[in-house]
Chains A and B, each alone.
Chain A
């Protein structure tokens, strides 16, 4: 509330927490009170006759089954349908044992849990290897198949007629269960045990490891977690829970048939879980009670048709999934949290809500003392003792079809050594990483880590031996905060059972590790609202939490600006000094050169050069295939475009962007930027990854709707219009990453490009296609081939040609140099310059590579953290490369 002191706020906050716990406990105890309430005569709540008691017993039984399913959805993220059959197997086990051998309730109970568990192990190994919807479909088929077996194995199950059992559970010591009320309390006791189980798992390291799998299975595996075993464990535990639910179901219903346990009836259980919510402890129980009592309430309201009841079920399932996918309990909990934070004024950030907060965290890397960055080179070059060979890769090869992605690559790595790997895109760097780390099975060759042969071992096992690799795109646990992510990784490291194998050089506590990586200030920030530079640091921090002996980093500095990449380099040197050997793939030579002791150059899968950084830099073959002839020479500074000196005042602007603001959810990306592109002018938008460049373009072409601001094309307003109309006014957008239609032919791609063409698709369109094939002769012989078969450079040309098929007056190019080697960048640049000269269109170019941008344009805008930081003539860019580096990061391998 207003002006309350921190002290009272704290008290109020604590009060709310206590109240929340009280509500939860009261809700959990409510079922216990319900029947006595009837006895006490307050039956206006529930009519506590025999029927209501029976429905309540069903509700408790279904709640047990629903918890089984909900645990899977909570910890694995997917519903399994085969649990319907496990439920039936529990019921049938109890029924058959009672029928044939006269076993009582307590004697059969272990088997009613263990038999479903055994079958879960059998079917789990194949089905748990699948993901997403495939998993659901496989479990669905398994469920229906098991039900079919139950229907046809008449000798055992009595077939479709089913089985009956008229007896109460036998007494347990002094406790008897021979009345409906006592059976109800027995079921309730089991329900409480299951809820306790869920509560304990959610709080255990086991539960956190499961959550790490749900959040990012590949990352969990790459940190050494045997994810299959963990998924199997929860699969089996939940099978046991629903198996026990099956036995209770039998004792209450007294008759069962196979088709009660098929996939369609199991939808009811799914409805309970969805209605209640999976992420709240009481969720499934609330759902089960509502679903079971819904027909009673409807009947009370005068709707007696059972069809209407089923219709209500179906409608509720649809409505909840669409309107409140977190369920009733989830919605209530979220509402309570909101109320609590409003009343107590608790502003602990779940996500940065104001622009100020966000930009504060984003610009944090710039505050790093420049001294730290400057030290990097000195530390790196200081004389060090390098230890014995720790990793040895011998003649590693990997083939895809007829193509050798990696061929006979050998290298060794000593303790505390840093090896850099460079090479053009598609030269096999990532494949090499995948082959060494066990993500891909090598076709031949071997990998030795600390004298042990690790060839053909899976990713997680290699990780447990002490070799950790990171991924090209930052892999994180998206639903966690920074601190929780580290905690998760530490939990995974303790699961490995290989603590003695771990490198002792790293802190084993969350906070110490955060400090080691310079992330202390970020500890409470949710991963999803981290700035890009911090996600890269966090990726390294997560890898360090498992204390690797060898750390392999795939393009760790991609998209970082100069200061950020220096900061990362400093961290990597600390990692090296802690005794971990590093293998680093990157394109950024200014980042790699001071860091590496040795370098290895790949081209087309072959190792073409290995040696000290100086040797590699001066190797003629390396210069030819990778760095480009112009590397380091001043020739590069001559712009390709031959236009006259730009003079904005003479040309009326075509495109005007005014105060454009865009936010993704609550995270602002653009804070009101303004820019213009004159008629026939070429303008570049420069900025680091995450600066908001692509967002600007996406707002212009209508792919996303800005929160505020104006986009004008001549006199036409573009905001709020669909992409097809914007294409129609003459703006074509060639998206980042090319995005050609890989499965359609080159010709079909070009035809799709003229779909929204101005001025029809007649003879002029055909002439345009001929002209473009003339400009891009490489495409001509490939017209009938799928675009996916083209090389990266050819795909970029196809994407540009496809964009031009709509005959635009403004061409928007998003990072045409991305992922292309310097040689290809030159080629694309020349073609774009030629097209502009011949077609006279305007160009809006987004680039990370300032030199490429300067060559093609007349003016550049510099974008940082969603704001325009400056505007210069392209000629000035040449003289200011170092200054630009600070803002943009040096993506160009030659810019050092």
Chain B
């Protein structure tokens, strides 16, 4: 293989890893928005907390393989408390809920700094295998992240389309009152969706924390990327989140690696990588305010 092709494929592999996390974060946001019309700005903090808790558990001697699910569930539990105490009260006013979640960002961020510190950390993982495929390096950690994302997507798809629980969730998302009349415990469904979204984000964060160093302020970037994914994909759509996550992750990685030339000689390089998410969000929301993949509503 030519050198250029190898470099390109390596970028694709790197892009897939980052895309996975965007997909996981976007899915969680979409799930919560579908059930409650709330855009949970504190969602990015669940990624960060997943990484921090996994870090401490591994440090305390727990196996990496156990640390990931335990950290995810611990964050899920925290999410349950947050939902019941704070967000539950603003179910009827998504704007209030949004502002509450802004306050939660500050609280969770600061608590993370107080509990750990503002330094960078990395989860110690037993995975050190790296495969060389014709010059393209693929690490076991990245494969794990891809596998985790694929598994989560599949599980979510089965849950939503094949089970009574999933049907109830979709019913609550569409019409809360009619769902009540079907005998569905709407309150429990909303809590479940919120916890599920936090578990998705935290598990992604725990694995990503083994690949890249992380700190307490990591969450905002993921939140904004996840928000872009959720909006581009159409709030409430799984396929949409998957496609949008891939598009965003790949665009960012490739543009950062190769740069975007301009006629006037300036090169948009890696320092602009965060800009794509912003431009994408603005463009999509102006072009189709409901997102690319959302079904047009039937009146």
Contact = CB atoms under 8 A, between A and B. Distances in A.
Interface of A: 78-79, 126-127, 129-130, 132-134, 136-138, 140-142, 144-145, 148, 151-152, 264, 267, 270-271, 274, 305, 307-308, 310-311, 313-318, 321-322, 325, 701-703, 722-724, 727-728, 732-733, 735, 739-744, 748, 751-753, 755-756, 786, 788-789, 802-803, 806
A739 B282 contact: no
B175 interface: yes
Given A142-B282, A755-B183, 10 more contacts: A127-B286, A134-B285, A137-B227, A141-B285, A307-B114, A314-B105, A318-B107, A321-B100, A701-B181, A702-B180
A627 to B, nearest CB: 25
Contact of A322 (B90, B105, B285): B90
B126 interface: no
8 contacts: A138-B281, A141-B282, A148-B274, A310-B110, A314-B104, A314-B105, A741-B174, A802-B182
B95 A144 contact: no
Nearest to A154: B271
Nearest to B113: A307
B199 interface: no
B278 A142 contact: yes
B275 A145 contact: yes
A126 B282 contact: yes
Given A724-B184, A756-B183, A315 B103 contact: yes
A728 B164 CA distance: 17
Contact of B86 (A270, A310, A318, A728): A318
B53 interface: no
* Complex A-B, nearest 10 residue pairs according to Cβ-Cβ distance, in ascending order: A756-B183, A317-B103, A314-B106, A314-B107, A318-B103, A724-B183, A145-B278, A739-B178, A727-B183, A788-B298
B286 A130 contact: yes
B197 interface: no
A794 to B, nearest CB: 13
Contacts of B177: 703, 735, 739
B183 A144 contact: no
A724 B184 CA distance: 6
Interface residues of B, number: 58
A134 B289 contact: yes
A148 to B, nearest CB: 5
B127 interface: no
A321 to B, nearest CB: 5
B102 interface: yes
Given A724-B183, A748-B167, A755-B183, A789 B298 contact: yes
B258 interface: no
Contacts, number: 179
B110 A307 contact: yes
B174 A267 contact: no
Contact of B106 (A130, A142, A148, A317): A317
A322 B279 contact: no
A752 B167 contact: yes
Contacts of B99: 79, 270, 274, 317, 321
A137 B106 contact: no
B107 A311 contact: yes
B98 interface: yes
A321 B90 contact: yes
Contacts of B279: 141, 145
Nearest to A802: B182
Nearest to A748: B167
Given A307-B114, A752-B171, A755-B164, A742 B106 contact: no
Given A723-B180, A735-B181, A144 B224 contact: yes
Nearest to A789: B298
A748 B167 CA distance: 7
Nearest to B224: A144
B170 interface: yes
Contact of A723 (B86, B107, B181): B181
A138 B184 contact: no
Contacts of A756: 182-184
Interface string B256-289: 0000000000000001101101110110011001
Interface string B177-200: 111111111000000000000000
B145 interface: no
Interface in B92-133: 94-96, 98-100, 102-111, 113-114
B215 interface: no
Contacts of B95: 78, 132-133, 136
Given A267-B106, A322-B86, A724 B185 contact: yes
B111 to A, nearest CB: 7
Contacts of A743: 170, 174, 295
Contact of A133 (B39, B109, B185): B39
B175 A741 contact: yes
A79 B96 CA distance: 11
Q: Which among A148, A318, A748 has the highest number of chain B CB atoms within 10 Å?
A: A318
Interface in B72-94: 86, 89-90, 94
B111 A311 contact: yes
Q: Which among A78, A723, A803 has the highest number of chain B CB atoms within 10 Å?
A: A723
B48 interface: no
Given A311-B110, A317-B103, A144 B278 contact: yes
Contacts of A744: 167, 170-171, 174
A333 to B, nearest CB: 20
A133 B282 contact: no
B285 A137 contact: yes
A271 B106 CA distance: 11
A281 to B, nearest CB: 21
A148 B181 contact: no
B239 interface: no
Contacts of B167: 744, 748, 751-752
B139 interface: no
Given A133-B39, A741-B171, A317 B102 contact: yes
A132 B177 CA distance: 22
Interface string B133-164: 00000000000000000000000000000001
Contacts of A134: 285, 289
Contacts of B224: 140-141, 144
Nearest to B269: A152
Q: Which among B185, B282, B295 has the highest number of chain A CB atoms within 10 Å?
A: B282
Contacts of A322: 86, 89-90, 96, 100
B231 interface: yes
B20 interface: no
Nearest to A318: B103
B268 to A, nearest CB: 9
B220 interface: yes
A806 B274 CA distance: 52
B168 A752 contact: yes
Contacts of B180: 702-703, 723-724
Nearest to A323: B89
Contact of B285 (A138, A727, A732): A138
Contacts of A806: 182-183
Contacts of A316: 103
Given A314-B110, A321-B103, A744-B174, A264 B220 contact: yes
A751 B167 CA distance: 9
Contacts of B282: 126-127, 138, 141-142, 145
Nearest to B39: A133
Interface in B179-237: 179-185, 220, 224, 227-228, 231
A753 B106 CA distance: 43
A151 to B, nearest CB: 8
A866 to B, nearest CB: 21
B222 to A, nearest CB: 13
A755 B274 CA distance: 46
A152 B175 contact: no
B178 A741 contact: yes
Contacts of A264: 105, 220
B200 to A, nearest CB: 20
A271 B102 CA distance: 9
